[in-house]
Structure 1
Amino acid sequence: MTEERTVYITYLHDDVTADLLEEIFTQVGPVEHVSIVAAASNPRYAFVQFVDEESVPFSIQTMDGLKLFNTPIMVRPRAKTKQVCTF
């Protein structure tokens, strides 16, 4: 599953691009995909999907708190969504 190979990044400066994130996160493991989500009502955030699961903990340890455009980013594992059934 892709969740195990993906990190969630928040506190992104407006100048951070998907290409920049790919370039930076490739230093900790091969990157498969990067997507940035920007909504008017929420701060920008991104998902970086790695080729290998092993890259996730290393990227969190290495990149959490890294300053991009003088703004520290937060890197966490992508949260798994749970489906709730109500009757």
Structure 2
Amino acid sequence: HQEIQVDDEGSQQQRSTGGGGGDQRMTMNAPMRRMRSSEIVMDGAPKDSDRTVFVGNLSQDVDEVILYELFTQVGPVERITLPLHDDPGSDRVSHKGYAFVQFADGKVNSARHSVVYAMKVMNDIYLYGQRIRVSRSNSRAGTQDESLLEPPLLPGDAAMVEI
């Protein structure tokens, strides 16, 4: 497990924990490079627009952790991208008011199902006083496949199907 912390002067401190040893710390005194987006990526998941929703009209109070906690209610999340403003004259880092949330295939539902479900249940909810917009991130899949919103069959459900 690794953590990277940045102090007030812009120096980074990286800490590795776990394994048999104790904490290992490494400090880099070079100033941190300004990033264009902030991301959470699970297990090195590559970007895939078919598994991703666009989330718009976000308050500046929203960060990647809040988005992760919110969207894991819909399905397993494997990547969150929150584009940041590129303002070299400002010390304050702010995002652009939108994000991309990418889902993983779960044990019961596919990532594609999670995309459609997120659009249905998360669109127009209020988060920090602002109504968020949730839509597909890719433009070629413009229509919702309502059949994906049917609840999946669980083990043992087949016995309940009438013939």
The TM-score normalised by the length of structure 2 is: 0.46
The equivalent of 2:71 in structure 1 is 25
- What count of residue pairs does the alignment treat as equivalent? 81
Bigger proportion of residues as strand:
1
More displaced stretch, 42-51 vs 9-18: 42-51
1:35-78 Cα shifts (integer Å, max 9, x gaps): 111336x9421000000121000000000011111100000000
Higher RCO structure, 1 or 2 (CA under 8 Å, sep 6+) = 1
**Structure number with larger C-alpha Rg:** 2
The equivalent of 1:45 in structure 2 is 98
The equivalent of 1:78 in structure 2 is 137
Percent identical among aligned pairs is 35
Instruction: Say whether 1:68 aligns with 2:134.
Output: no
Cα distance, 1:79 vs structure 2: 2.2
Which of structure 1's runs of 4+ aligned residues deviate more than 3 A? none
The TM-score normalised by the length of structure 1 is: 0.83
Secondary structure (helix, strand or coil) at the match of 1:54 reads helix
User: Superposition RMSD on alpha carbons, in Å?
Assistant: 2.2
Q: Which whole-Å CA distance do the structure 2 matches of 1:76 and 1:35 have between them?
A: 15
